[in-house]
Structure 1
């Protein structure tokens, strides 16, 4: 179980790293081919191609002067190969700090954990 938790934590770390470096291809590669992602602004994206198109437009240049960190908070194993992961996202920019509360449903396929259904929600108030 500890190695599985660490594998999930590694995916969260790769999300952070790819976003921080604006590495679109690395970010998109973390998703399953048929993944569903709802952005922090409520845009629903379906499939890796749609996620790639959106990310390719918004990520380059978005991190200039900004630091984002992700901390895995909780894991709920739905099945041994499917986990719901709650994350604390902290973004610090010249405009101030903001917090998000993403939930990532990850599935293990061919020994690799992939983002499958994700909801990124800003924390308000």
Structure 2
């Protein structure tokens, strides 16, 4: 068996953990208030977003249009609880966030999400995110 390296061996900075947790909290707050600007303000311009249905959106404006169509037309009464399952640092400026979304209304169900974040100018940005529907 070959020796395998560990990916998540960077020291954890509590301030960075709090900032990343806030980024994830903003996703839930934006969804619960139908505020696409709040949801999408923390993504990089060249984001790779993969929806739970497998649709790949490769730049911010495509993701933003997808969110606007989904939340604004017609406005949804979403209630989502986002839970941070873990934050794993690949280095001082790169992290992976493992999340869970519990949808309460009008859609029910759970999704797991994985986000890759980068830190630029002291701000954490999501550069890639994928959601997967959890089958009960």
Fold conserved between structures, TM > 0.5 = yes
Is the counterpart of residue 81 in structure 1 residue 93 in structure 2?
yes
User: Matched residues in 1 for 2:19 and 2:93: separation?
Assistant: 12
* Residues 102-124 of structure 1, C-alpha deviations (whole Å, 9 max, x = no match): 00111111111111110011111
- Following superposition, the deviation at residue 34 of structure 1 comes to 0.4
RMSD after superposition = 1.3
User: Matched residues in 2 for 1:63 and 1:87: separation?
Assistant: 22
User: Matched residues in 2 for 1:59 and 1:30: separation?
Assistant: 17
Q: Return 5+ residue gaps in structure 2 as ranges.
A: 1-12
> What is aligned with 1:105?
116
> What is aligned with 2:8?
none
- Following superposition, the deviation at residue 93 of structure 1 comes to 1.8
Give me the TM-score of the superposition, normalised by structure 2: 0.85
> What is aligned with 1:17?
29
* Residues 39-62 of structure 1, C-alpha deviations (whole Å, 9 max, x = no match): 111110011111111111111245
> What is aligned with 1:117?
128
Superposition pairs of residues 44-63 of structure 1, within 5 angstroms: 44-60=56-72, 61=74, 63=76
- Following superposition, the deviation at residue 26 of structure 1 comes to 2.0
User: Matched residues in 1 for 2:40 and 2:101: separation?
Assistant: 18
- Following superposition, the deviation at residue 63 of structure 1 comes to 3.2
Q: Which runs of 4+ in 1 moved over 4 A?
A: none
CA change 1:111–1:55 in 2 (3 A) is same
Give me the TM-score of the superposition, normalised by structure 1: 0.92
